[in-house]
Chain A
Amino acid sequence: MAFLSNLVNGISLGSIYAMIALGYTMVYGIAKMLNFAHGDVIMVGAYLAFCAAQYWGMPPLVALLIAMVACTVLGMTIEKLAYAPLRQATSLAVLITAIGMSYLLQNTALLIWGANPKVFPDLIGLDSLQLFGGELVIKGATLVTIAANIVIMVVLTLFINRTRMGKAMRCVSEDRGAAELMGINVNRTISATFAIGSCLAAVAGFLLCSSYPMLQPTTGSMPGIKAFTAAVFGGIGSIPGAMIGGILLGVIEILGKAYVSTELGDAIVFAVLIIVLLVRPTGLLGKVQREKV
């Protein structure tokens, strides 16, 4: 029973990583850049949902919607101001800009909301599921997160494969120059990608803080890094890969902590990542790209 309980906790943590990894993988897959500020957009989303629910008295669903809209606007603004001017620059310049943006968001949050942590209220309001006479507890937030993950994964896959914008995204991902020659508006496509990624970040922030209710300006950074690892683990650019990578990472982390050592939990996670990348350099579900000579 202790094992089952740990497994459930692992899936709970993993489903949060998966949710964040979806945003990373979207942006990387299409814009070919690592948006290191993603974790901090999550934090902003969580703060906005907190303010809407706690200070302005909005119902939970409205609070989530406010956070989603605000984060979408924020993501598009960041893209327009910081990343779009660097479209022709080296990927290193974009990466450094993204790290700078991450610090800018963290410190702005510090100015606005202060250094004191806040405990996120229970906005989901779903009771925990008690199985085997209370031996196994599944949090309501976990159930909602898993359901949300599946819905988002399906919708995203359909969107990418079935819509015009989705087709444009796949084209930009494959060859940006050729896509432009075919009359695809690359800037608008990348902007739309950021809009979707940031909107997902708001949902991820809401769910992250519902499961682990601690809100401070650095809330998004470590889960962001772990989720990035999960995206690489599953094969960056692949939507089901992000999902699988996230859940596996969470399960490995929790089982490693429970059965090996709490001190080595994170080390085990990253050791597994290294092994996976040695065996499959493109990640679990990553596409192997052949270079033609």
Chain B
Amino acid sequence: MKKLLALVLALVMMMGATAAFAEDLVLTIGHIGPQTGPAAVYGLATYRGAQIAADEITAADNGITVVLLNEDDAHDAEKAITAYNTEMDKGAQMIVGTTTTAPCIAVGAKAFEERVFMLTPSASSTDVTADKDNVYQLCFTDPNQGSASAAVINERKLGTKIAVIYNNADAYSTGIYQTFVEKAAELQMEIVSTTTFTDETTDYSVQVAAAKDAGADLVFLPIYYTPASQILIAANTIGYAPVFFGVDGMDGILTLEGFDTSLAEGVMLLTPFVADAKDDATVNFVTKYNDLYGETPNQFAADAYDCVYALVAAAQLAGVTSDAAAEDVCDPMIAAFQQLQITGLTGAMTWSANGEVDKVPTAMVIRNGVYVGLDN
């Protein structure tokens, strides 16, 4: 009898111990992004943003520890696959990444086969999530930005005659352009000039002159900030000053070395995150980032920060345990993301069944060298 009692007691204690372990969650997340090469600025930002979130969650002492693994993919699809394999070998349960689109498509396909859950902070092409139920996006998709821009321009009557200058050698730019045009046609907006350039273009005088000659009072620039700076300079040379309206790629123009930021005065853009916002969460994040890395975080860092919080919240909903294998976590995580509602630095978010995020873009304008809300 005593023996039996001892056995039962031992069993009870063991179960208690397991239960106690289950409460303490150690979540292993792998980050992949370019930290060398021409796209390094984006991968470093997502890694740093994710690390700050991981440290915050662990330090909060809620019984959750986030272990963040990190690998560099140099914005290269093959290197990204190697990075992914390395992290899976080290015991990653899910992936935050990859930062850029082309590697994300490659890693997404492999992760789909192996059933590993991925949440990308910034790969914005629709190809990233297409036909893969395990890949989720936290950034806007490219089409979303185009139609949202057209809607904002129309709603607020920012311009009546619109010119578009876009990069027809770039999937990001072309994707936004196409949905912009569709939405503009639907809203019966007048597009008076459409011109293109490529990554190799040196001279933008033709594009700017075409917009000016067509009498455009608003120029839509669904492009990155580097060519945008050249377009602003070219417009200034010929004394052309319409409203310039950009998308999230415009973010970075104020920190471009040597650029006369007075040329960017009045430039409008749609972006989910503004480092100058005054809410506590943003101020806290920006201060920490500045202290640690000596610079102001961009939207990529903010997106990655939100990613880690979203993954932890979903993991709790899905009942993920510390020792669960990645392939066992995947389906519960997908189900959890369908229910998840979370508010982060980049706004309130929910996810659709195809993995795209639903959040509201904010229209911003550059005044006195800083972004302020269009309503301020």
A binds B: yes
Which residues of A pack against B, CB within 8 Å?
A: 2, 5-6, 9, 12-13, 16, 50, 54, 110, 115-121, 128, 134, 137, 139, 208, 212-216, 221-223, 253-254, 257-258, 262-263, 265-266
Question: Known: A119-B257, A121-B258, A262-B195. Is A9-B206 also a contact (CB below 8 A)?
Answer: yes
Closest A-chain residue to B202, C-beta based? A212
Closest A-chain residue to B205, C-beta based? A9
Q: How far is B202's CA from A253's CA once the two chains are assembled, in angstroms?
A: 11
Among candidates B37, B239, B259, B260, residue contacting A137 with C-beta atoms closer than 8 Å: B239
B239 touches A13 (CB 8 A): no
A139 touches B237 (CB 8 A): yes
Within 8 A of A (CB), among B297-333: none
Which residues of B pack against A, CB within 8 Å?
A: 37-41, 168, 195-198, 200, 202-203, 205-207, 209-210, 213, 226, 229-230, 233, 237-239, 256-260
Question: Known: A115-B37, A119-B256, A119-B259. Is A137-B206 also a contact (CB below 8 A)?
Answer: no
Determine the chain B residues whose CB is within 8 A of the CB of A117 once the complex forms.
Answer: 226, 256-257
B237 touches A118 (CB 8 A): no
Closest B-chain residue to A128, C-beta based? B237
Determine the chain B residues whose CB is within 8 A of the CB of A265 once the complex forms.
Answer: 206
Determine the chain A residues whose CB is within 8 A of the CB of B229 once the complex forms.
Answer: 119, 214
Q: How far is B196's CA from A254's CA once the two chains are assembled, in angstroms?
A: 13
Determine the chain A residues whose CB is within 8 A of the CB of B40 once the complex forms.
Answer: 115
Determine the chain A residues whose CB is within 8 A of the CB of B209 once the complex forms.
Answer: 2, 5-6, 9, 258
Closest A-chain residue to B258, C-beta based? A119
Among candidates A2, A50, A223, A266, residue contacting B213 with C-beta atoms closer than 8 Å: A2
Question: Known: A110-B38, A116-B41. Is A263-B202 also a contact (CB below 8 A)?
Answer: no
Q: How far is B200's CA from A119's CA once the two chains are assembled, in angstroms?
A: 16
Determine the chain B residues whose CB is within 8 A of the CB of A121 once the complex forms.
Answer: 258
Q: How far is B75's CA from A115's CA once the two chains are assembled, in angstroms?
A: 13
**Smallest CB separation, B171 vs chain A (Å):** 16
Q: How far is B161's CA from A5's CA once the two chains are assembled, in angstroms?
A: 22
B230 touches A212 (CB 8 A): yes
B196 touches A262 (CB 8 A): yes
Q: How far is B257's CA from A215's CA once the two chains are assembled, in angstroms?
A: 10
Closest A-chain residue to B198, C-beta based? A266
Closest A-chain residue to B252, C-beta based? A116
B257 touches A13 (CB 8 A): no
Closest A-chain residue to B259, C-beta based? A119
Given contacts A117-B226, A119-B233, 4 further A-B contacts (CB under 8 A): A2-B213, A6-B206, A120-B258, A222-B202
Determine the chain A residues whose CB is within 8 A of the CB of B203 once the complex forms.
Answer: 9, 12-13, 212, 253-254
Among candidates B168, B197, B198, B202, residue contacting A13 with C-beta atoms closer than 8 Å: B202
Determine the chain A residues whose CB is within 8 A of the CB of B258 once the complex forms.
Answer: 50, 54, 118-121, 213, 215
B168 touches A263 (CB 8 A): yes
A213 touches B233 (CB 8 A): yes
B213 touches A262 (CB 8 A): no
Determine the chain B residues whose CB is within 8 A of the CB of A253 once the complex forms.
Answer: 203
A-B contact pairs, 20 of them (CB 8 A): A5-B209, A6-B206, A9-B205, A9-B209, A110-B37, A115-B38, A117-B226, A117-B256, A118-B257, A118-B258, A119-B229, A119-B257, A120-B258, A137-B237, A137-B239, A208-B202, A222-B200, A223-B202, A254-B206, A262-B196
Q: How far is B238's CA from A54's CA once the two chains are assembled, in angstroms?
A: 26
Question: Known: A118-B258, A222-B200, A262-B195. Is A214-B206 also a contact (CB below 8 A)?
Answer: no
Q: How far is B264's CA from A119's CA once the two chains are assembled, in angstroms?
A: 14
**Smallest CB separation, B147 vs chain A (Å):** 23
Determine the chain B residues whose CB is within 8 A of the CB of A216 once the complex forms.
Answer: 226
Determine the chain A residues whose CB is within 8 A of the CB of B198 once the complex forms.
Answer: 266
**Most interface-central of B197, B203, B207, B237 (chain A CB within 10 A):** B203
Q: How far is B202's CA from A120's CA once the two chains are assembled, in angstroms?
A: 13
Closest B-chain residue to A137, C-beta based? B238
B257 touches A116 (CB 8 A): yes
Question: Known: A117-B256, A222-B200, A263-B168. Is A258-B38 also a contact (CB below 8 A)?
Answer: no
Determine the chain B residues whose CB is within 8 A of the CB of A5 once the complex forms.
Answer: 209, 238
Determine the chain A residues whose CB is within 8 A of the CB of B197 once the complex forms.
Answer: 262
Closest A-chain residue to B256, C-beta based? A119
Q: How far is B257's CA from A2's CA once the two chains are assembled, in angstroms?
A: 33
A115 touches B41 (CB 8 A): yes
Determine the chain A residues whose CB is within 8 A of the CB of B207 once the complex forms.
Answer: 257, 262
Determine the chain A residues whose CB is within 8 A of the CB of B257 once the complex forms.
Answer: 116-119
Q: How far is B209's CA from A253's CA once the two chains are assembled, in angstroms?
A: 15
**Smallest CB separation, B36 vs chain A (Å):** 9
A257 touches B206 (CB 8 A): yes
Among candidates A13, A54, A214, A254, residue contacting B226 with C-beta atoms closer than 8 Å: A214
**Smallest CB separation, B294 vs chain A (Å):** 15
Determine the chain B residues whose CB is within 8 A of the CB of A222 once the complex forms.
Answer: 200, 202
Determine the chain A residues whose CB is within 8 A of the CB of B239 once the complex forms.
Answer: 134, 137
**Smallest CB separation, B231 vs chain A (Å):** 11
**Smallest CB separation, B72 vs chain A (Å):** 14
**Smallest CB separation, A45 vs chain B (Å):** 16
**Smallest CB separation, A43 vs chain B (Å):** 13
Determine the chain A residues whose CB is within 8 A of the CB of B205 once the complex forms.
Answer: 6, 9, 12, 254
Closest A-chain residue to B195, C-beta based? A262
Determine the chain A residues whose CB is within 8 A of the CB of B256 once the complex forms.
Answer: 116-119
Q: How far is B259's CA from A120's CA once the two chains are assembled, in angstroms?
A: 8
**Most interface-central of B233, B237, B257 (chain A CB within 10 A):** B257
Among candidates A50, A115, A214, residue contacting B230 with C-beta atoms closer than 8 Å: A214
Q: How far is B229's CA from A214's CA once the two chains are assembled, in angstroms?
A: 9
Q: How far is B203's CA from A249's CA once the two chains are assembled, in angstroms?
A: 13
**Smallest CB separation, A103 vs chain B (Å):** 13
Determine the chain B residues whose CB is within 8 A of the CB of A258 once the complex forms.
Answer: 206, 209-210
**Smallest CB separation, A50 vs chain B (Å):** 8
Q: How far is B205's CA from A16's CA once the two chains are assembled, in angstroms?
A: 15
Q: How far is B239's CA from A128's CA once the two chains are assembled, in angstroms?
A: 11
Q: How far is B238's CA from A139's CA once the two chains are assembled, in angstroms?
A: 9
Q: How far is B237's CA from A208's CA once the two chains are assembled, in angstroms?
A: 16
**Smallest CB separation, A267 vs chain B (Å):** 11
**Smallest CB separation, B296 vs chain A (Å):** 14
